Structure 1
Amino acid sequence: MTASLLIKNGTVYDGTGAAPVPADILIDAGSIKAVGPALQCDTAEVIDARGHWVLPGFIDLHTHYDAELEVFPGLRESVRHGVTTVVMGNCSLSLAMGEPADVVDLFARVENLPRELLREWVGERMTWRTPAEYYTHLERLNLGPNVASFLGHSNVRLAALGKQRCLQREPVTDADKHTMGNHLQEAIEAGYLGMSIDMLPWHRWMGYKYNGASIPSQYAHMDEYRYLAGILRRHGRVMQATPNANRKASTLLLSLLSTGLLRAPLKLSMLASLDFKGNRALGQLPALLCSVINRLGRGNLRFQSLACPFELWSDGYNTPIFEEFHAGARLMNADTRAQRQQLFADPDWRRQFRREWLSVFNRSFHRDLTEMTVVACPDASLVGKTFSDIAADQGCDPVDCLLDLLAEHDQKLRWYSVVANDRPAVLRKILKRPFNQIGFSDAGAHNRNMGFQNAHLCLLRDANQYRDGLSVAAAIHRLTGDIAAWLGLDTGVLATGKPADITVVDPAALATDLTGATEINDPRFNGDMRMVSGSGAAVRQVIVRGQPVCRHGSFCDDYEQRPFGRLLRSQLH
């Protein structure tokens, strides 16, 4: 382990939003000992950051790395892009509680990972049964980045109610709520950030008997959410919430939980502030709600934002777009190709699919077949064409064409579309809103569908190139110190005495080297494909707790063989 480290000649952004200054940083025993000009230390290893930005390591406030962390605690696909802290346990899903088999079924469809792989990663490793025991377990892992977590409401319902009851929309008893409250209280005392809840119909259970059911958090009534929010409010902790995008009233009802009239405000971090192609009005709703709730209602409401185009890849029927409506979800629920063929041959199901596909109500994803392009198919002549192009060539209806191609090629038909954040100037305006939290990469989820691991770098690139969005200093603050302070994390700023979680960025490479998601066959996923993004030479150094873990894209030899990062416990009270 390096005892001392001296970063010299860099342009230092301290994470507070202050203007950058030329300075050196002296690090010893994992902490920053000094920040200033012309520092000297004869025993320190020197990193020359001339021409580069030196900034706090990025905090990704919305990931689903819970399962992957168990077997690959280095989380390389985020750390290589300068992330030094990840926040897990989002969307009501965590590993903190539940029977192992149930937890696998809870994660499989959302993560888009084979159940067999998740059983291998999680099933035999879950020896803990309580939130406190899970945090004790995390402290024993060879963490690469720092890790913090929410307690998943779906897991709490599983533990408190059992599988059958938690997957039914029935009111819970006072005793049930008391049991769930005790689990949450234990998590708060252990240092969890708070609790995550979920109403989004795209998130579904995978497994025998309950396949296709919504995940447990979605069956709760508002009084259950209010009860749990009250506990979080008393302790100053955070609720992460995913509302039902198809029912706008759910967003309003959840937002009202944050108000601070005659009570303490609740810290509420909600998904998501995006510029949806299929529903532009959704992009305006977060700004309106934050203005009303925070200013008039004295609340503490935030919306999470993605700082790059929302690109989505789909494998035949396997797509989040189909999760959004009943006929599509039925197709997703079909376990075998034979079952899917029965649906494709059923005229009643096809009529239902067409009616729901063409409906303009209750949808977030666009369903414009002129904007959906085939990128892989056994019939190579279709690659590069949209479904509308193919329908025109074949002289058939576009929706029928889509269904016929799905029936013929199943998951071998891979297609692509941009579903949100397709207008750069509008995106910069959205990201500039003061109540938006930037860092929603969803890393670890939907592994075959998307890859936003370098989204924070996209924000810095655009901040450096355009003057109608955030400044570079403000962008770095929003990705580091702002998130850390709001969540109660001991990281995110460069100051004497603070943990040395640092990223060194080359602004010249930042302008040229960032790439969108690409497919790789990851040996760590038993050769299965996953989507990852690239940053080339933009990130020169990643330092976690004073130790260089990634230099010029290469990880140190003992990475994942010993701990570098730490479990971060909330400091909010």
Structure 2
Amino acid sequence: MPSHVTYDTIIRGARWFDGTGGPSAVRDLGLRGGRVAAVSAEPLDATGCPEVMPAHGLWVLPGLIDIHTHYDIEVLAGPSLSESLRHGVTCVFVGSCSLSTVHVGAVDAGDLFSRVEAIPRHHVIDHVERGKTWHDASSYVEALEQLALGPNLAAFLGHSDVRTAVMGLDRATRPEVRATPAERGRMQQMLTDALDAGFLGMSAQQLLFDKLDGEVCRSRTLPSTYAGGAEMRGLRRILRRRGRALQAGPDATHPHTIVLEALRSIGLPGRAALKTSLLSAADIKAIPFVIHLMRGLAAVVNRLGADFRWQHLPVPFEVYADGIDLVIFEELGAGAAALHLSEKVARDELMRDPAYRAAFRKEYETKYTPRVWHRDFFDAEIVACPDESVIGRSFGQVGVERGGQHPVDAFLDLVVEHGTDLRWRTTISGHRPQVLRRLAAERGVQMGFSDAGAHLRNMAFYNFGLRLLKHVRDAEQEGAPFLTPEQAVHRLTGELADWYDIDAGHLRVGDRADLFLLDPTRLDARVEEYAEEPCEQYGGLSRMVNRNDECVPLVMVGGRTVWRDGAPAGPLGRERTGQFLRAGQGPVPPVPASTPSAAPAPAVRAG
């Protein structure tokens, strides 16, 4: 590289991963105009460069991609999305699980999002009501790009969103009602318009324990679950023709729906394969053999010409709950009955009822049915309670200590007595490390499904990418590798960007300078810990988060530093650094800085 060439930033001496899965190497990176201008084995000439970052001993990686979030609401009031950004995530997907805010109004958005995703309904309504300036997919993109976005965004169009907008929430959630040909045509036009605007595809849902909030349609399942065959065929036909993705959640209580979704992905002569990303490949405690069937299904249909992937969270799926407020109870009739009641007094009265308790016990003891929750209160640890004597015990143990009380009764007694002050945890899936390792290397899975921005009191997987890298590094040090670091980085970055066809996930000359520095020596137990922080966007609600800032000393979006040494940096929260990444439209220029850097920034610490 000629010596007179100058750069906006030089990253000096980091181990460089390009996101392709190819070999990593120690390199200097020169950034200019928001893109990678040079990758050099020799030291780059720093003459005229305002920022030189010593990064010896660190890794430099493409920004991670989170393919499954529910940031649709939070982005309107807190567009920096720093809880993901701080962990090296520089691109997030919104519009998952049939839910988006492209077409519905504020109240309908509140009913759709709040109970399913455990986001306070009044905040959903308020943020959409105050923030909505758009009326269709194109103006939605424009509205997002008026915000001070931290990371980049890409989006699915939610099927429940368009169905509600076209049919009205009441008609869209009645089993006897089918969309008319005119209504199906309007939905198809909305999808076409969204794809023209650069959306990734459409998300749909068949899962029957995702329930509506509000009063009018409370406890009905999401509108997408009521769609008839003709409606879905028309929408799939558009996605297939345009080469865009269907992100779907099958009905886990009816396993044949999983097989049907996989078979529909198969391409035939004269019919392209339908890109399908299905929820989710999980090693479920309740049904330990099912993960092997999932892996086999993906392998078979892809050999037959499908383009099918499972979404997979490559960490133990540990959840926390305050009292009975946890979505897994929706799969039980008794649990759904309690969650249907929004008032504590009414809930408590129900949970005291002997007939209700008998029904709950019966369902709890019915273990051999398709389900997500293992239904074992001996595998549910109490972590906080005004009655300190029960902390550290399971509900089953509490029942034993109370004279052989049934675990369900021990649980309900504590919920009635302490309400949401009773906090407990359990692991639903991903509990076997050896199975997690096999899944992480499986071609038929995609890394993702963090649910970032939702279930604020229940779980925190904002740093799932770092946790996978820790798992890979630990296995390598143990002499039992299952992925190389290069392969793991590829799975979290370039593989996803290429499949969804967006300008992200790579770190080669000419690529966007969306990147982060990683200190591999800090991939330790701290990345597996949880913390709680008040969430300003939701009235100071304490939400679960991850805190391992020493692991990620620097994050850049479009060549601009947005996170440094555990704190927001540069323009984050004040200016837009991220943008809407349009599927299939190739590289787009990063957002330019509003003012040039006036002075060198401090060097990045190596840990």
TM-score clears 0.5 = yes
Kindly tell me: are residues 493 and 558 of structure 1, through their superposed partners in 2, closer, same or farther at Cα, counting changes over 3 Å? closer
Q: 1:502: how far off?
A: 0.7
Residue aligning to 1:545: 558
User: Does 1:17 find its partner at 2:30?
Assistant: no
Question: Pick from 67, 73, 77: which aligns with 1:61?
Answer: 67
Residue aligning to 2:265: 258
1:504-540 per-position Cα deviation (integer Å, ceiling 9, x unaligned): 1000011353133222233443221111012231112
Question: Pick from 520, 537, 542: which aligns with 2:533?
Answer: 520
In structure 2, give the amino acid aligned to 1:455: F
Residue aligning to 2:569: 556
User: Does 1:39 find its partner at 2:44?
Assistant: yes
2: CA distance, partners of 1:227 / 1:325: 33
Q: 1:124: how far off?
A: 2.1
Residue aligning to 2:520: 507
Residue aligning to 2:136: 130
Residue aligning to 1:322: 329
1: CA distance, partners of 2:110 / 2:266: 36
Residue aligning to 1:231: 238
Tell me, what secondary structure is at the counterpart of 1:537?
A: helix
2: CA distance, partners of 1:184 / 1:449: 32
Please give the TM-score of this superposition, normalised by the length of structure 1.
0.97
2: CA distance, partners of 1:505 / 1:13: 11
User: Does 1:152 find its partner at 2:158?
Assistant: yes
Q: 1:419: how far off?
A: 0.9
Q: 1:200: how far off?
A: 1.5
Q: 1:284: how far off?
A: 1.7
Tell me, what secondary structure is at the counterpart of 1:252?
A: helix
Q: 1:344: how far off?
A: 1.6
Residue aligning to 2:320: 313
In structure 2, give the amino acid aligned to 1:133: S
Matches within 5 A, 1:34-433: 34-37=38-41, 38-44=43-49, 45-169=51-175, 170-262=177-269, 263-296=271-304, 298-360=305-367, 361-395=369-403, 396-433=405-442
Question: Pick from 446, 462, 471: which aligns with 2:471?
Answer: 462
Tell me, what secondary structure is at the counterpart of 1:514?
A: helix
Q: 1:211: how far off?
A: 1.3
Tell me, what secondary structure is at the counterpart of 1:268?
A: strand
1: CA distance, partners of 2:59 / 2:119: 37
2: CA distance, partners of 1:533 / 1:285: 32
In structure 2, give the amino acid aligned to 1:439: G
Q: 1:407: how far off?
A: 1.9
1:104-153 per-position Cα deviation (integer Å, ceiling 9, x unaligned): 22111123122222233222222322112111111111110000000000
1: CA distance, partners of 2:7 / 2:383: 50
Give me the CA root mean square deviation.
1.5
Q: 1:557: how far off?
A: 4.6
In structure 2, give the amino acid aligned to 1:81: H
- For the 8 Å contact 2:105–2:128, the answer to whether it is kept is no
Q: 1:42: how far off?
A: 1.3
Aligned length: 571
- For the 8 Å contact 1:509–1:536, the answer to whether it is kept is no
2: CA distance, partners of 1:144 / 1:415: 33
2: CA distance, partners of 1:136 / 1:285: 43
- For the 8 Å contact 2:156–2:202, the answer to whether it is kept is yes
Tell me, what secondary structure is at the counterpart of 1:241?
A: strand
Question: Pick from 480, 483, 486: which aligns with 2:496?
Answer: 483
- For the 8 Å contact 1:309–1:422, the answer to whether it is kept is yes
In structure 2, give the amino acid aligned to 1:33: A
Q: 1:181: how far off?
A: 0.3
Tell me, what secondary structure is at the counterpart of 1:150?
A: strand
- For the 8 Å contact 2:155–2:200, the answer to whether it is kept is yes
Higher deviation after alignment, 262-271 or 37-46: 37-46
Residue aligning to 2:11: 7
- Which blocks of at least 5 consecutive residues in structure 1 are unaligned? none
Please give the TM-score of this superposition, normalised by the length of structure 2.
0.92
2: CA distance, partners of 1:380 / 1:188: 54
1: CA distance, partners of 2:251 / 2:481: 32
In structure 2, give the amino acid aligned to 1:430: L
1: CA distance, partners of 2:178 / 2:116: 26
In structure 2, give the amino acid aligned to 1:494: L
- Which blocks of at least 5 consecutive residues in structure 2 are unaligned? 1-5, 587-607
2: CA distance, partners of 1:513 / 1:356: 38
2: CA distance, partners of 1:518 / 1:458: 15
Q: 1:3: how far off?
A: 7.0
Q: 1:425: how far off?
A: 1.6
1: CA distance, partners of 2:196 / 2:380: 48
Tell me, what secondary structure is at the counterpart of 1:566?
A: coil
1: CA distance, partners of 2:204 / 2:419: 33
Tell me, what secondary structure is at the counterpart of 2:113?
A: helix
Higher deviation after alignment, 6-15 or 283-292: 283-292
- For the 8 Å contact 1:452–1:516, the answer to whether it is kept is no
Tell me, what secondary structure is at the counterpart of 2:52?
A: strand
Q: 1:204: how far off?
A: 1.4
In structure 1, give the amino acid aligned to 2:114: A
- For the 8 Å contact 1:255–1:289, the answer to whether it is kept is yes
Residue aligning to 2:460: 451
Q: 1:329: how far off?
A: 0.6
Tell me, what secondary structure is at the counterpart of 1:513?
A: helix
2: CA distance, partners of 1:513 / 1:39: 35
1: CA distance, partners of 2:11 / 2:309: 35
2: CA distance, partners of 1:134 / 1:364: 35
Tell me, what secondary structure is at the counterpart of 1:542?
A: strand
1:465-506 per-position Cα deviation (integer Å, ceiling 9, x unaligned): 213421110000000000000001101111111111011100
1: CA distance, partners of 2:231 / 2:358: 38
Higher deviation after alignment, 515-524 or 178-187: 515-524
2: CA distance, partners of 1:567 / 1:218: 29
In structure 1, give the amino acid aligned to 2:469: L
- For the 8 Å contact 1:513–1:538, the answer to whether it is kept is no
1: CA distance, partners of 2:207 / 2:585: 28
2: CA distance, partners of 1:149 / 1:428: 29
